[in-house]
Amino acid sequence: MSTITETVDVNVPVRTAYNQWTQFESFPRFMEGVAEIRQLDDTHLHWVTRIGNVQREFDATITEQHPDERVAWRSDSGPNHAGVITFHRLGEGSTRVTAQMDIDPDGFAENAADKLGVLDRRVNGDLRRFKEFIEHHGQETGSWRGEVERPPG
């Protein structure tokens, strides 16, 4: 299992950055390799991704969500991964967004991408594109401010 940690500072208030991140269906607009995300309910997502010529579909569960602080998830099917995105207020109009992911590459393409540092660069690029996306729009395209408590145990 590989752990990837990347950070980006965005020039929007923490509320704006967090609200945009909760709009999972917009991820293909700034995440390389994400073809589609469907939000099934408040805590379940269906992802379609591509790495090279390999397409994967999997389901994920949001395991923890606290407005303006964090969103955590784990995969339920497909490639084994989990992660957390945290939001830290740097000032009135700036926020640090940190992505930490644990990924267990599945298959030849994913293992090769992991060993070559492609996955780290992809996460870094996704955060940079998120920065461009949210700063260009200046406001979120929507929001979900609900709480999801970490399951016991």
What letter would DSSP give residue 31? -
Instruction: Name the pTM for this structure.
Output: 0.89
User: Which residues, 6+ apart, have CB-to-CB distance to 6 below 8 Å?
Assistant: 98, 99, 120, 123, 124, 127
Is residue 123 assigned to a domain?
yes
**Burial classification of residue 41, based on how many CB atoms lie within 10 Å of its CB (0-12 exposed, 13-18 middle, 19 or more buried):** exposed
Q: How confident is the model at residue 77 (pLDDT cuts 50, 70, 90)?
A: confident
- CA 78 to CA 52: how far, in whole Å? 17
Average pLDDT in the 104-131 region?
Answer: 75
Q: Which pLDDT tens digit goes with each residue over 45-73?
A: 999 988 778 888 999 999 999 999 999 99
Q: In what order do the strands lie in the sheet with 80-91?
A: 2-10, 94-104, 80-91, 70-75, 54-66, 44-51, 34-39
Average of per-residue pLDDT across 96-119:
72
The enclosing domain of 92 has a CATH number of: 3.30.530.20
Closest CA to 8 of 25, 26, 30, 23: 30
The verdict on residue 88 lying in a domain is yes
Is the pLDDT at 114 greater than 60? The verdict is no
pLDDT at 54: 80
Residue-level pLDDT at 126:
95
Coil/strand/helix, residue 98: strand
Is the per-residue pLDDT at 153 higher than 80? no
**What domain range includes position 6?**
2-24+62-137
* 3-state SS record for 71-89: EEEEECCCCEEEEEEEEEE
For residues 101-114, average pLDDT: 67
Give a yes or no: residue 99 inside a domain: yes
Helices (H), the chain: 14-21, 107-115, 118-137
Q: How many domains does the chain have?
A: 1
151 falls within a domain = no
Q: In the predicted model, what is the mean pLDDT of the chain? A: 89
Question: pLDDT for 9-38, tens place per residue?
Answer: 999 999 999 999 999 999 999 999 899 999
